[in-house]
Amino acid sequence: MDLTHFDETGRARMVDVSAKEETDREAVARGKIIMKQETLERIRMGQIAKGDVLAVAQVAGIMGAKQTSQLIPMCHPLAITGAKLSFDFEEPDGISIEARVKVSGKTGVEMEALTAVSIAALTIYDMCKAIDKTMTIQEIYLAEKRGGKSGHFIRG
């Protein structure tokens, strides 16, 4: 079982996908950030009053998806055709993040979805770190992937 990202001499490369079919592809990634209960409460209040942390994290996640190939060395540049993020409060102390990214291309957008979740989580951390330094980013994983030769993957 070989890592396709290396050539026969062991050097890293961007895998050649020239011969792959251009198809509609979609990936869904998830993650969460755990924090003090009062930090969660403060973020929730911002939703209904002033200072919406998640609105900033949303923008950061989507912009992050677009920077993926500049961040992950062997990742192909892709003209993504759609991206959205959603957040859910997980009582009493967590926020779950889901990113859904689409492309019509020769390779998938798993990394774009995972990067969007990661950058959104880091942004929540940044905006709350003055009141809570002990937040932890947890369980970032690929939840689903459609399109391409490998077919439909759903994490069990």
Give whichever of 92 and 138 is closer to a second copy, judged by the CB atom.
138
Q: Binding residue for a second copy (CB under 8 A) from 75, 91, 96, 146? A: 75
Q: Binding residue for a second copy (CB under 8 A) from 1, 92, 149, 151? A: 1
In the stretch 2-31, what mask flags binding to a second copy with x, by CB under 8 A?
xxxxxx-xxxxxxxxxx-x---x------x
Smallest gap from Cβ 93 to a second copy, in A, equals 14
Smallest gap from Cβ 91 to a second copy, in A, equals 18
Q: How far apart are CA 119 and CA 156, in angstroms?
A: 25
Contact call for residues 4 and 20 (beta carbons, < 8 A): no
Q: How far apart are CA 74 and CA 70, in angstroms?
A: 9
Contact call for residues 48 and 100 (beta carbons, < 8 A): no
Q: Binding residue for a second copy (CB under 8 A) from 44, 76, 89, 93? A: 76
Window 134 to 153, contacts with a second copy (CB under 8 A): 134-142, 145, 153
Contact call for residues 40 and 95 (beta carbons, < 8 A): yes
Q: How far apart are CA 12 and CA 78, in angstroms?
A: 20
Window 79 to 98, contacts with a second copy (CB under 8 A): 79-87
With a CB cutoff of 8 Å and minimum separation 6, the contacts of 146 are: 24, 25, 26, 27, 152, 153
Give whichever of 35 and 92 is closer to a second copy, judged by the CB atom.
35
Can 24 be counted among the known catalytic residues?
A: no
Smallest gap from Cβ 92 to a second copy, in A, equals 17
Contact call for residues 122 and 57 (beta carbons, < 8 A): no
Element (H, E) at 61: helix 53-71
In the stretch 32-71, what mask flags binding to a second copy with x, by CB under 8 A?
------x---x---x--xxxxxxxx-xxx-xxxxxx-xxx
Instruction: Tell me which residues are annotated as active site.
Output: 126
